[in-house]
Structure 1
């Protein structure tokens, strides 16, 4: 009988395309994932990964076994969900995926309450961007995800998932104190034409918002992933940035946040697989996430 943990590791590599990303999804180290797959190769007497020049790809045999692993994981997940529904109480493992500012803004407190309230529930958190969070939920590697999408850059929801709104998060324009627009009470997109933006890179939701809001004419001069690093640039007198309010750290001295009109906002939602929506742990998590949303 093949080991389920090793099959999960192979399925994660097949899904995410690398050992490093599979490790993040599973909550392991990359070394642990490599060891699991090496044991599976010895167990099956088959090469499952083609390792060349630091890259890995599944061999034909690896693809066959990864597909079988996905089917086995789906069957077991369905059985676990049905057992939990019969018990009527949140039990087992709940893996929650959430984007960074959600983790800081309300998810950390929510998951602490979940773990403290339900003794039989083991909670695990994966901090990850919304697009990759959806992939984790679709593949069964996360049970629930907290995601966001902007009014002009919606998130594409797979048909196998269902979601519920948690709240709306407004964003402001952050500028160095010495900027000519820093003393304005509010700004419009027309005021910001020609500015040099600090933003996350292509694929990020904020990046998409900028391109949509300025018809792809926004100059992204500073590609910076972390909001803390963006604030450091602003404090140094460099660029302008779009900063959501959720999970926002205190602004450094000399940095101002000015409202934009119309106000940009992102909808924050929880998403889960349709077939697992009646699990008591999913329903309990959704309620507690809503309770902890900053009002």
Structure 2
């Protein structure tokens, strides 16, 4: 009979594309992955991996078995969900990924509530950008991911996932305090056509959104600096090196020398929790989603 953990290892190699990627995803060593695959090869009497340059690739037999492994593991996930749902107890482990400002803004309240209400539930969290969080959920390396899109640029939900809205997060323009518009009650984005901008790194969804939004207002943006951390963006603003759009969730105290002015067009991020459809009945997933919703509601009130 095929060993489930060895099938899980083969599935991880297929999903991650390498032995080292599978090892990272499974939180084991590359040697452990290789040993599991060698045992699986002996079990079925066929070669599953072949050398491919400096890496490896799945053989035809490996690809075929990996397809079966994915379906078997999905069925196991459904069985686990059904058993947990029948038992109705919030126990075990739930792994949650969130982008940094969501982690700062939502995790303290949500995780404290989960610990109080469900002391037998273990919660593991990690910070990562939304695109990576979705990949982790699709791979089965995370149970929940907190993701986002913007009011004028929506992100599609990949097949096999479902999501729930947690909160809307407004964004303000962050300016140096001596900027001529720093004292305004509201501003329009068109007011900043000749400014240097501080943005998220190129290739990230929020960077693409900023370019799209400014161009839709007739502004060809001058991106002077890129930084992934909001606090880094703000210290650049404090130094007089540009302006940026800064969401409120998880923002914390601003450095001295920074002023925030609301945007008249009501620029907003929509924050969601997303999870695999085949895990939807797990009480641990439902409890974590509810705690995140309550944390989001408390911030919106």
Q: TM-score, normalised by structure 2?
A: 0.84
Q: Secondary structure at the match of 1:198?
A: strand
Which deviations, in whole Å up to 9, do the C-alpha atoms of 1:132-166 show, x marking residues without a partner? Answer: 22222233332222211101121110232222211
Instruction: Determine the C-alpha separation between the residues in 2 that align with 1:277 and 1:138.
Output: 13
Q: Secondary structure at the match of 1:113?
A: helix
User: Which one of 259, 272, 278 corresponds to residue 256 of structure 1?
Assistant: 259
Considering only CA atoms, is the larger Rg found in Structure 1 or Structure 2? 2
**CA 1:194 to 1:130, structure 2 compared with 1: closer, same or farther past 3 Å?**
same
The answer on whether the counterparts of 1:160 and 1:274 sit within 8 Å (CA) in structure 2 is: yes
Q: How far, CA to CA, are the matches of 1:285 and 1:247 in structure 2?
A: 19
**Farther-moved stretch of structure 1 (259-268 vs 279-288):** 279-288
2:104 corresponds in structure 1 to 104
Residues 1:234 and 1:20: Cα distance change in structure 2 (over 3 Å) = farther
TM-superposed deviation, 1:222:
1.2
Runs (4+) off by over 6 Å: none
State the alpha-carbon separation in 2 of the partners of residues 12 and 99 from structure 1: 24
What corresponds to 1:128 in structure 2? 128
Deviations 1:94-114 (A, max 9, x none): 222221111100124312432
The reply on whether 1:229 has 2:232 as its aligned counterpart is: yes
TM-superposed CA distance for 1:49, in Å, is 6.9
The alpha-carbon distance between structure 1 residues 17 and 199, as it changes in their structure 2 partners (threshold 3 A), is: farther
RMSD of aligned alpha carbons? 2.6
Q: Which residue of 1 aligns with 2:57?
A: 58
Cα pair 2:93 2:123 within 8 Å, conserved = yes
Q: Is the 8 A contact 1:8 1:69 kept in 2?
A: yes
| 3-state SS, counterpart of residue 179 of structure 2 | coil
For 2:135 and 2:151, locate their aligned partners in 1 and report how far apart those are by CA, in whole Å: 22
User: Could you tell me the TM-score, scaled by structure 1's length?
Assistant: 0.85
- Cα deviation code 1:4-36 (max 9, x no counterpart): 55544553443344667656655x3xxx34233
Residues 9 and 36 in structure 1, CA contact (< 8 A), matched pair in contact too: no
Residue 295 of structure 2 corresponds to 292
Q: Report if aligned partners of 1:152, 1:212 keep a CA contact under 8 Å in 2.
A: no
> Among 37, 42, 51, which residue is 2:33 paired with?
37
* 216, 219, 223: which one aligns with 1:220: 223
Deviations 1:196-224 (A, max 9, x none): 21111233232122122122722222121
- The whole-number CA distance in structure 2 between the counterparts of 1:246 and 1:21 is 32
Instruction: Tell me which moved more, 280-289 or 32-41.
Output: 32-41
Where structure 2 has 5 or more consecutive residues not aligned to the other structure, the ranges are: none
Out of 266, 271, 276, which is 2:269 matched to?
Answer: 266
Query: What is the alpha-carbon distance in structure 2 between the residues aligned to residue 106 and residue 4 of structure 1?
Result: 35
1-structure distance, mates of 2:18, 2:228: 21
- Distance across 1 between alignment mates of 2:221 and 2:9: 41
User: Structure 1 unaligned runs (5+)?
Assistant: none
Task: Figure out how many residues of one structure are paired with residues of the other and give that number.
Answer: 289
The alpha-carbon distance between structure 1 residues 68 and 287, as it changes in their structure 2 partners (threshold 3 A), is same
